[in-house]
Structure 1
């Protein structure tokens, strides 16, 4: 799969800028418990120590619990679909689809912030960060050592997540900006189902 499949992650819209750790956690729990779906657009930039940053853009949809769709439109098409029990990664250029169980790994990844349960304290160490350019930031560090990302930062403005930064174990930085986010809209169930087209190689992990 191409390197643009850098993350399965999307944050949930949060309700208020945190003033202290307890306030931050309460706001996160409140937002998660009150959010059933999210839908919108994203722009993603992946930066490495060497080489030109890779930029991509597309649409996303989330239906809690456990269902999500992360669709790249540019510079080429790719699709990630979580149906509640399995995750499909589809690359139409390669004519290949990879499928694997969500399993316990999802609960210790950033994807838990979008489609998992509300057990944030179990999976993350959370603390508020300094505000920058009108955006309030907080940090969520996975407690599990083998999580895909070593550091997650969410940026809030006017009570909604507008940016996300993720650092992986190789210090690769992924920045995501969100736009046109709709919260708790009715979403078509077909968004979270994937059937491989004919003549596509399916790899199970």
Structure 2
């Protein structure tokens, strides 16, 4: 994971770099507002550690510019400004967390871990295979950026397929996933009906393959 440290005090920035390196994080240092903008424009970061007061600008302005540009990288503001109003300003501007200086390294690392987990979870809410993108959180499916309307059962089946893209799933496994009444569905063709409708709505040839005598699987090459 690559982090960006935005801090105009050289000693503080190098101490942060040493701390993060010890925790196996890869980090860049921007010593100014201008340099930070250049780094953010050129690179993707898992997290930005942002000082409020910079020599040629301020972290709050930089944060607002990031969010206005729809850069959703988690940001942790580090500042000596401890007033409640200041913290509210930072959070309203789009910061994910705020830590007052001086701070404990143990607490800083804990806050970093929380934000990195949050960022990772948000990224994994999207699953994409070929032209199909499924958003687990928003419960939406897109084919080539076109929203596809699926029933709850169709969405659940597609989600299961896309989470198990290398695995052939039996009809019974698929039935069990969409209907907990196992006894009544053992010999039902309900899965075949849902998959037929799902294929029609996705309209992608051979996206869901029928494995004769076993079940179905996603065709990653489609």
TM-score band by shorter chain is under 0.3
**Structure 1 length-normalised TM:** 0.27
**Structure 2 length-normalised TM:** 0.26
**More helix as a share of residues:** 2
**More strand as a share of residues:** 1
Q: Which has the higher contact order (CA 8 A, sep 6+)?
A: 1
